């Protein structure tokens, strides 16, 4: 436990209370998990139960666009016989997998069936359809049909409320509002591996204190001896949401000194800057 801090030790102690047997199973052999975690889409039977595979083959033969698509498009169409049937379909094999070409009369039906599985976004719908089918202008068709989906229009939220950013009030005197942060770990020097930085928002006066560790006790002592003892008690202190600044000791210290805490936004270190 010498290389772990107290927080990690508590977590490891909790984990050891469970008995587990971890085994690796190849995805190709773990068919049960695959079946439960994946929507069964992409197979011809999912979409074409209603449209009928033979109807698709007949529609391909009657499609006036097919000769031009074969001649001028980037699709590599070739005739493929479906396994276990006498049905032959024109399919694209450019991406290493067989994707049937869908004529105009059946395109909306294919989209509606696939999109209706979970009503994904335009990007998700395109990905879903492209996995199994091809036709010219698919991206535009899918985008238009997704935007016109009544279920999506009724249930999906298109306007998201964004809370406006809060602006720090400019202090009217020095040492009234300070920013505190921790830098490190750094290469050890004389037993110190971290730095406590404190900067006054009004004058930009910086103070840096070397630390041996980043415990709440060490940080509180350094802040008191380096800043409070020399410059007085600030009215506002801004920190990130590190565990030292979320600790009970830090909160008790700032409450006792009458300091208002103004923590930075989570995962947004720019808040705690100048």
State the residue range of the domain holding 51: 40-155
Rounded to an integer, what distance in angstroms lies between the CA atom of residue 113 and that of residue 54?
Answer: 18
Helix (H) or strand (E) holding 154, with range, is helix 150-155
Q: What global pTM score does this model have? A: 0.44
Residue 190 sits in a domain whose CATH number is: 3.30.420.10
Residue 142: the pLDDT is 93
Domain end among 88, 123, 155? 155
Q: What is the pLDDT of residues 258-272, one digit of tens each?
A: 989 888 777 766 776
Q: What is the pLDDT of residues 113-169, one digit of tens each?
A: 888 888 888 999 999 898 888 888 889 999 999 999 888 888 876 676 777 777 777
Three-state secondary structure call for residue 63:
coil
Mean pLDDT of 167-193: 86
Our count of domains for the chain comes to: 2
Mean pLDDT of 61-90: 81
> Are residues 73 and 128 part of one domain?
yes
Q: Is 86 exposed, middle or buried (0-12, 13-18, 19+ CB in 10 A)?
A: exposed
> Are residues 264 and 212 part of one domain?
yes
């Amino acid at each position: 436990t010498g290389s772990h801090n107290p927080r990690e030790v508590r977590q490891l102690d909790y984990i050891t209370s469970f008995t587990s047997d971890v085994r690796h199973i190849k995805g190709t052999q773990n068919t049960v998990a695959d079946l439960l975690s994946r929507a069964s889409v992409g197979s011809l039977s999912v979409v074409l139960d209603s449209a009928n595979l033979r109807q698709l083959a007949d529609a391909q033969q009657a499609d006036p666009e097919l000769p031009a698509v074969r001649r001028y498009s980037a699709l590599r169409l070739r005739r493929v016989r479906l396994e276990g049937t006498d049905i032959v379909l024109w399919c694209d094999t450019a991406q290493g997998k067989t994707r049937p070409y869908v004529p105009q009369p059946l395109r909306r039906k294919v989209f509606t069936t696939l999109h209706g599985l979970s009503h994904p976004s335009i990007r998700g719908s395109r990905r879903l359809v492209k996995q199994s089918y091809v036709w010219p202008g698919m991206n535009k068709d899918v985008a238009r049909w997704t935007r016109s989906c009544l279920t999506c229009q009724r249930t999906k939220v298109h306007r998201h409320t964004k809370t406006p950013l809060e602006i720090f009030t400019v202090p009217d005197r020095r040492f009234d509002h300070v920013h505190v942060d921790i830098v490190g770990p750094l290469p050890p020097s004389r037993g110190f591996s971290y730095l406590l930085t404190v900067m006054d928002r009004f004058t930009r006066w910086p103070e840096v204190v070397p630390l041996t560790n980043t415990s709440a006790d060490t940080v509180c002592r350094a802040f008191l001896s380096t800043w409070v003892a020399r410059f007085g008690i600030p009215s506002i202190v801004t920190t990130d949401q590190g565990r030292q600044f979320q600790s009970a000791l830090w909160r008790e210290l700032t409450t006792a000194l009458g300091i208002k805490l103004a923590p930075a936004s989570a995962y947004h270190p720019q808040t705690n800057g100048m």
